[in-house]
Structure 1
Amino acid sequence: MDIVNALTRLCETPAVSGFERQGATVAAELLSSCCDSVEIDAFGNIVGMRRCGKENAKTVLLDAHLDQIGFVVTEVLDGGFLRFAESGGVDPRMLLGCEVTVLADEPLYGVIACMPPHLMKAGEQDKAVQIHEMLIDTGLIEAKTRVKTGTPVVFAERVFQLSKGSVTGKCLDDRAGIIAIAQAMEKLGGEELSVDVAVLISVQEETTSLGAGIGAYRIRPDFAIAVDVGHAKTPDAPSDKTFEYGGGVMVGMGPNLDTRLTRALIKTAKAEGIAYQQEVMEGHTGTNAWAMQIAAYGTAQGLLSIPLRYMHTPIESICLSDLDSVSDLLYHFLRNFDGEVRL
């Protein structure tokens, strides 16, 4: 798999939370060569299955979410301006001046309007502008004939390489997780397994995690591993809540996560020489692991994360070696897993 090209294609296919159908088609195509079957369910989740062919085999579910943060048009004004609301957790501090794509029947370019400082009243420069006060300028006088209320909007930034080993762009949260799973499944292509492997590319994580809950309820796995992103270190970030960029896969540990499965993942990383970092998570992990753990009769849950800089911005950045460490850990764990975890 050409990781950069696959990641670029996936990230540049829009899938705002609640509007994922276009992205689902690309994700399903990505899984088609490494799963026995792939389908898009009624809710919009992509479900792939790789069966081992053994009687009473247990099932391991791998999940990454497809949706991205974005916006929805709430009103079309005269002069080509749009009012909008957020879909997912968007920080208004970084929006003014951003470039966006309005996903009308024919996509439109737009910019989030920013009042010049010359026109501000005294003290206004120090006040944060709330999203409901912002406007998208399409530059189109006839915008009312082109854009409808409810149209999704995404950041316009493209994916590019900062350096040979680093990639930056929109929605690496969690398209990087999808690529890590797809790469692991591709590596497993010729391997004889002792467990069935289900892949869930879930929708609506950024708003509700309903996709993961519904998908896990349907599949009813014995074990589930969520693959998402975590916070990578930067000079301005708190050191106790961030992890090394290029330091390897982050293995979550906490009450949302099964101790035996977590230990098995760490044991595999040590045995295979895979770089890893332990992330203690004292409660809600903020990922699909929370919803999947209690689906149906409950599941033994694990969590692997890719260190990522600038989460929920158009310039999210990852180190490709960290993505590789996640896919390597999944590959080696599943290749050797007999369906039992032990203390």
Structure 2
Amino acid sequence: MNIDLLKRLCEMPGVPGHEHRVRDLIAAEAQDLFDTIETDVMGNLICTRKGQGDDPERIMLACHMDEIGFLVSHISDKGFLNVSPVGGFDPRNLFSRRVLVCTSKGDYKGVMMAEGKPVHISAPEDRKKVPEPTEFFVDLGLGAETKNKIRIGDFVVMDEPFLELGSERIVSKAIDNRIACWLGLEAVRKLLKDGHSHRCELTVAFTVQEEVGLRGAKTVAFAKRPHIGIGVDTTLACDTPGVPEKDKTTELGKGVGLHMKDGSFISDMALVEEFETVAEAGSIPVQRTILAGGGMDGASLQQAASGARAIGIVVGTRYIHTVGEMIDKRDAIAARDLLAAFLASH
């Protein structure tokens, strides 16, 4: 498993509307894997391998590049930054975080804190209150000089290192959805390394602004009009204390997820069964998944223009939308192998 690539992808900052650094990293990695590489007006990176024949089947993988984060919305005279979230946060996970404020002229480390009194002078009722994400602020330690360094619209990400835990687990911020970016590259790399060809026209779209409404996937799917759309993403692994068994969604180490349904779309059942057949032939572990809410780029691929057959291929992830997102290497490898085997059959 190419851990170095995944580490570089996860640690690269890029929130909705500011995915350019991630896009540049992926474009460099993709040079030898695709026939054409282009960036559309929204910032989607569209990588295509030509198909065989005059009118080949069009298959698209959508792998979103953005991570949840914030945009600077106000700078006080004392240098405190107010922020506007881009993506869904549980504010219980935002207390006392180290962050990186990213600008066109350089990045600045800082801390994110909640408004209000610290523990030594707060009342018990104060400590029971959970602030909204907009009630957090960032302190860079620069005081009034902050206004000369930071501009409204600069973006903020969590600043935590990529870790390997034990022999099989990986923890990082932005695994949602840099693991899919890794899969979009590594599945094609495996396909070629194994000496397989494909008949289809294959497009891997590294999309923008998924976390704020599947926006990039909508435009790229409308432009390319795939016959088969594969949304590649994370999903919940709630195989942890405090979650009922029926709500676990996936279990780490039990294989790649075949995403049946979420709040945005329902997968094509024939595609689900085809993926299961491919997985069985290759002894690739899979698990069917249903997510009660949420959405993913597969929905945009399914609904663009006259529509497409669509499915989600997902990697179960504990603690999603936190700095402690955790996956199992075996599940990521299973997802890579399944995508490569499916593409080889088309």
1:165-191 deviation line (CA, Å, top 9, x unaligned): 111111000100111121110012232
Matched residue SS, 1:55: coil
1:93-124 deviation line (CA, Å, top 9, x unaligned): 11110000011222111101254211213411
Q: Which amino acid aligns with 2:28?
A: E
What corresponds to 1:209 in structure 2? 214
Matched residue SS, 1:109: strand
- TM score, norm. by length of structure 1: 0.94
The answer to whether residue 113 in structure 2 is matched with residue 108 in structure 1 is no
1:221-263 deviation line (CA, Å, top 9, x unaligned): 1101111111112122232232110110110224621111111
**Aligned-partner Cα distance in 2 for 1:110–1:238:** 37
What corresponds to 1:56 in structure 2? 55
Match of 1:304 among 303, 313, 316: 313
Is the contact between residue 256 and residue 289 of structure 1 (CA under 8 Å) also seen in structure 2? Answer: no
**Aligned-partner Cα distance in 2 for 1:84–1:285:** 23
**Aligned-partner Cα distance in 2 for 1:238–1:77:** 44
Matched residue SS, 1:224: strand
Would the alpha carbon gap of residues 280 and 309 (structure 1) be closer, same or farther in structure 2, given more than 3 Å must change?
closer
What corresponds to 1:257 in structure 2? 267
Match of 1:292 among 301, 321, 326: 301
What corresponds to 1:268 in structure 2? 278
Is the contact between residue 66 and residue 178 of structure 1 (CA under 8 Å) also seen in structure 2? Answer: yes
Matched residue SS, 2:267: coil
**Aligned-partner Cα distance in 1 for 2:58–2:93:** 42
Match of 2:245 among 215, 239, 244: 239
The answer to whether residue 30 in structure 2 is matched with residue 21 in structure 1 is no
What corresponds to 1:319 in structure 2? 328
What corresponds to 1:159 in structure 2? 162
**Aligned-partner Cα distance in 2 for 1:220–1:288:** 14
Is the contact between residue 60 and residue 205 of structure 2 (CA under 8 Å) also seen in structure 1? Answer: yes
Tell me, which stretches of 5 or more residues in structure 1 are unaligned? 338-343
Q: Which amino acid aligns with 1:336?
A: S
> What's the Cα RMSD here?
1.5
What corresponds to 1:340 in structure 2? none
**Aligned-partner Cα distance in 2 for 1:140–1:280:** 47
The answer to whether residue 179 in structure 2 is matched with residue 169 in structure 1 is no
**Aligned-partner Cα distance in 2 for 1:194–1:236:** 47
What corresponds to 1:185 in structure 2? 188
1:105-162 deviation line (CA, Å, top 9, x unaligned): 2211110125421121341111112222221111102111111111110000121111
**Aligned-partner Cα distance in 1 for 2:48–2:29:** 13
What corresponds to 1:196 in structure 2? 201
The answer to whether residue 339 in structure 2 is matched with residue 330 in structure 1 is yes
**Aligned-partner Cα distance in 2 for 1:218–1:13:** 28
- Give 1:5-20 correspondences, 5 Å limit: 5-20=4-19
Structure 1 segments, 4+ long, off by >6 Å, are none
Number of equivalenced pairs: 335
Is the contact between residue 230 and residue 301 of structure 2 (CA under 8 Å) also seen in structure 1? Answer: no
Would the alpha carbon gap of residues 328 and 53 (structure 1) be closer, same or farther in structure 2, given more than 3 Å must change?
same
Matched residue SS, 1:322: helix
**Aligned-partner Cα distance in 1 for 2:2–2:246:** 31
Percent of aligned positions that are identical: 31
**Aligned-partner Cα distance in 1 for 2:52–2:212:** 37
Match of 2:229 among 213, 224, 228: 224
- TM score, norm. by length of structure 2: 0.93
Matched residue SS, 1:111: strand
Out of 153-162 and 272-281, give the one that drifted further: 272-281
**Aligned-partner Cα distance in 2 for 1:238–1:5:** 35
Residue 281 of structure 1 and its aligned partner are, at CA, apart by: 5.2
